[in-house]
Chains A and B, each alone.
Chain A
Amino acid sequence: MLSKEEIKEIDEAIRLVPYKKAASIEALKVVQQHRQWVSDESLKEVASYLEMSAEDLDSVATFYNLIFRQPVGRHIILVCDSISCWVMGHEKIKEKLSERLKIDYGQTTKDGRFTLLPNPCLGTCDCAPAIMVGNDLYRNLSIDQLEGILSKYE
């Protein structure tokens, strides 16, 4: 069941568009905000609320890399893997994170704390390499900073 709060937020998005279906991305964002990811069950509920088929909504949900259709950890680590970060050695950052957290891209730590994902250019190329953890951006990174960064997230 969509919560009252979720319905309120989805309704706000619907208000801005001419028909309900057009709020699909906003609605997926609302559900993900509240539940961390979009399960099959959530997807069906949202689709029914927007008067569209679940298949139609899933085609939208699976198109966008920041809508999660699988469970994710409490904190998402996005490693910028685009050109400037590659030149500046992002691979070392990724290797260190993988080694420390014992996960590869697309995986979540056993304690559900972190999910590690590659992300295209984070738009901070003059401060490469860069990662994001949750909503926080870290730039000009070196591997010895990673332990301190990770320790900020429970």
Chain B
Amino acid sequence: MEKPLTQHLRKDTKPLSLKEYEQVGGYQSLRKVMKMTPQEVQSVVKDSNLKGRGGAGFSTGLKWSFVPMNVPKPKYLIANADEMEPGTFKDRILLEQTPHQLIEGMIIASFAIQANESFVFLRWAYKNAAKAITKAIQEAHEAGYLGKNILSSGYDLEMHLHTGVGRYMCGEETALLNSLEGKRATPRAKPPFPQISGLFGKPTIVNNVETLCCLPHIINNGAGWFKKLSLTQDSGTKIYGVSGKVKKPGAWELPMGVTLRELIEEHAGGMMDGLRFRGALPGGASTDFLVEEHLDVKMDFAGVAEAGSRLGTGTIVVLDDKTCPVGFVKNLEHFFAQESCGFCTPCREGLPWIEKILNSIEIGDGRTEDIKLLEAHTRLLGPGNTFCALAPGAMEPLQSALKYFKKDFEKHVQDKGCSYSKKSKLQFTN
């Protein structure tokens, strides 16, 4: 089984140095690219059917193709390394351990859109990644992979690291651009799309870290090879992760399209002793629950969508039978309410209200009509009613919890409180 993105990781989890990266074929792909035209690079990536690994799953080649080619400088390429989706820890591995793979991917992407400036937008908490990337950018500069006239091709590219100062919103691409411009991280209206008018009003591409790390391998091995890595029609490998009460939580690079069952039972070692699988968020906090009937769902974009959820980031959070689903969802909605940027009303006002209702239900003050009120909110804050995807994303775990775990909500109301003992005690004292 091929694991192009992670096969060369060091056992001690330290970052691969430039020399180590070059020894395993690093920057060979860049050499190839420097002899290609930007259009050729774009068409290989388009043919590979690479889809964005940050959550939205949009075709990377297609996204690039909207960038105008014959326009004055500057254009920008940004690596979205603001990994803040709760339950998600996949990009951290790539950022900390293979910084040169990301840099090579970024140079390839920059060349494909003819950008001469690039940024890594890294979240504050990833301190080891910041160190690794700072060092790697310097090494790449010294080796002639960055800066003026890269590998004597005449192509110039500068790269900078920007570390954020918090806020989930920064992961949304237009909010990220505002933040890079020194503003509050609120989303922008689209159109114009960032490909036309992005950072400082210039054409800009924002790609996820894992997406960018796929590029050197696609160039080296071809679009056909990348497609064959997968078990399904969505190409490539995927870094999947599992957290929650399983025996061996972790992250693994696997062919795109393995089943949820394989991830949980084989890779994560199954549930901890004495616990049963109740459900899972397949791709971070803003995805709909999948439950037991979905264990054989193929974890690719189409498979998870067919089951009524989203692949999202592909990092799974497991709910077990001894953990309260109402408390679980309350924790998620607390996060979303806190992280709402406050820019549009339904999100700013609706999410705290939802959190309060869930809290009432959890501590035994819930009324029967509260459940209907929650259901109404999943529509009121759904797609089309808010400025960006934060609130609709927040509604995904709630609407599916109300569908699959409704009896738990009703029981909380009837019993005036939570019967999942351990958690409820803590909730009461809060």
Contact = CB atoms under 8 A, between A and B. Distances in A.
A123 B250 contact: no
A3 interface: no
Interface string B155-185: 0000010111111100000000001111111
Contacts of A128: 243, 249
A26, A83, A132 — most chain B CB neighbours (10 Å): A83
Contact of B124 (A66, A84, A86): A66
Interface in A15-31: 16-18, 21-26, 28-29
A92 B426 CA distance: 9
B181 A22 contact: yes
B360 interface: no
Interface residues of B, number: 57
B160, B163, B181, B285 — most chain A CB neighbours (10 Å): B181
A63, A82, A84 — most chain B CB neighbours (10 Å): A84
A63 B85 contact: no
A70 interface: no
Given A22-B200, A83-B86, A126-B243, A120 B335 contact: yes
Contact of A82 (B92, B166, B183, B285): B285
Interface residues of A, number: 43
A84 B182 contact: no
B355 interface: no
B125 A125 contact: no
Contacts of A84: 86-87, 243-244, 317
Contacts of A95: 426
Nearest to B181: A22
Given A64-B167, A123-B92, A128-B243, A21 B87 contact: no
A84 B328 CA distance: 9
B165 A125 contact: no
Contact of A91 (B83, B126, B166, B426): B426
B5 interface: no
B53 interface: no
Given A16-B160, A66-B166, A125-B243, A82 B181 contact: no
Interface in A131-146: 132, 135-137
A73 to B, nearest CB: 18
Given A64-B167, A66-B124, A83-B285, A125 B241 contact: yes
B84 A120 contact: yes
A83 B281 CA distance: 10
A60 interface: yes
Nearest to B422: A89
Contacts of B323: 87
Contact of A25 (B179, B242, B244, B338): B179
A3 to B, nearest CB: 21
Contact of A121 (B87, B244, B328): B87
Contact of A126 (B84, B86, B89, B165): B89
Contact of B335 (A60, A82, A122, A136): A82
Contacts of A67: 165-166
A18 B250 CA distance: 42
Nearest to A23: B182
A151 interface: no
Nearest to A20: B182
Contact of B328 (A87, A123, A126): A87
14 contacts: A17-B181, A64-B167, A66-B124, A66-B164, A83-B328, A84-B87, A84-B243, A84-B244, A87-B320, A120-B335, A123-B123, A125-B87, A125-B88, A126-B89
Which 3 A/B pairs are nearest by Cβ-Cβ distance?
A125-B243, A24-B182, A126-B249
Given A65-B167, A87-B244, A123-B89, 6 more contacts: A64-B185, A82-B87, A83-B86, A83-B87, A84-B86, A123-B91
